[in-house]
Amino acid sequence: MRRAALLAGFAALLLATPAFAEEGWGYELSGNLMSPYCPGRALSECPSPKAGELRAWIVDQEKAGRSREEVEAQLYERFGEELRQAPKAEGVGLVSYAVPIVLFAAGGLLVGVFLRRNRSSRIQGESLATSQASPPAPDEDLERMLDEELRE
């Protein structure tokens, strides 16, 4: 009985998989593009009716047999680079990738220098403390007064 239930569940999973496979690059592309109608939102998340029309147009282009690259090129020509979720890694867009890397490396270097200096000053402080750790010579007058006080 248990095996039959497991086999039935596995068969249901196998049969359900082609339904997801039918969604081609059209749905994926609308999720990877920013909406020209809802600033700051992906095209797939934009509630605007015009965004819905654009999503339907993309899927229609896929069904008509056009390639993803052709559709993307047409969209970028029509709406510009604002459709990209991230800038291209070329030209000025390369700066947006390089600056965080450079700042991260500089921050790591700064932390390393700070830790090295802090460690060396602490080691020097410990060596000074150990060299001064020998007790001072007892004061004879103070010792004599202490003895007198203890006798009384």
Q: What range does the domain containing 57 cover? A: 14-85
**Co-location of 72 and 107 in the same domain:** no
- The reply to whether 150 falls in a domain is no
pLDDT, averaged across the chain: 78
61 with 94, same domain: the answer is no
Domain boundary among 63, 85, 107: 85
**At 26, which CATH number?**
1.10.8
From 85, 107, 141, the end of a domain falls on 85
Contact 67, 74 (CB under 8 A): no
Residue 127 placed within a domain: no
Instruction: Please answer whether residues 31 and 23 qualify as being in contact, where contact means their C-beta atoms are separated by less than 8 angstroms.
Output: no
- Span 37-49, mean pLDDT? 90
Q: 55 and 98, same structural domain?
A: no
> CA 37, CA 48: separation in Å to the nearest integer?
7
Report the predicted TM-score, pTM, of the whole model to 2 decimal places: 0.48
Query: How many domains is the chain partitioned into structurally?
Result: 2
Last residue of a domain, one of 33, 68, 85: 85
Residue 37 and residue 57: Cα distance in Å, rounded? 15
Domain contains 133: no
pLDDT at position 117 over 80: yes
- Checking if the pLDDT of 83 tops 70, the result is yes
CA distances from 101 to 106, 107, 111 (A): 9, 10, 15
80 against 107, higher pLDDT: 107
What does the pLDDT read at residue 97? 76
Identify whether residues 54 and 73 lie together within a single domain.
yes
How many whole angstroms separate alpha carbon 85 and alpha carbon 43? Answer: 10
**Claim to verify: residue 22 and residue 38 sit in the same structural domain:** yes
**Which amino acid is located at 30 in the chain?**
S
Tell whether 138 is covered by a domain: no
Q: Both 22 and 74 in a single domain?
A: yes
> Is residue 101 domain-shared with residue 58, that is, in the same domain?
no
- Do both 81 and 92 map to the same domain? no
Task: For residue 118, give the amino acid letter.
Answer: N
The pLDDT value given to residue 16? 47
Bridge-partner residues for 33, per DSSP? Answer: 84
Question: Which amino acid, one-letter code, is at 65?
Answer: G
